[in-house]
Amino acid sequence: MDADRTAGVLLIVGGVLGLAGTVSTFFPFSVLGVISFGLVLVFGFLVYRKRSESRLVAAATLWFAPLGGAACVVVLWFNRFGWGYNDLWDVQGSVGLFGMSFALAGAIIELRGIRS
């Protein structure tokens, strides 16, 4: 598998994990996370298909993935210090942060390549 396909798979996995981590939490932050990770998921499919704009959407992922990750951090923060404690929100926030990490790794691989 070449670097474009690897980067696309990582972006897709990051988008799916991010959506799973932000889809059913606090209202304003879940919207931010769902939109951000939804775009990351679409960007992953574009990179995987080796479209001509794949480097541009990989650069956009460097903005949208941390934006969705910020929504996950807010969910984790509110869960600890805000409106009570819920174990599910800890899991969802952590899964969203893992999704952000996968998406960032895929974007960096697309932009910088894999060196052997």
Six-digit token string for 94: 């952590």
Q: Is 85 buried (19+), middle (13-18) or exposed (0-12) by CB count in 10 A? A: exposed
pLDDT digits (tens, 9 = 90+) for 30-64: 788 899 999 999 999 999 998 888 889 999 999 99
How many other CB atoms are found less than 10 A from the CB of residue 31?
Answer: 12
Query: Looking at the whole model, is its pTM more than 0.75?
Result: yes
In the prediction, which pLDDT does 27 show? 64
pLDDT digits (tens, 9 = 90+) for 78-111: 877 766 677 788 888 899 999 999 999 999 999 9
Please give the Cα distance from 80 to 38 (Å, whole number).
26
Q: What is the mean pLDDT of residues 20-39?
A: 82
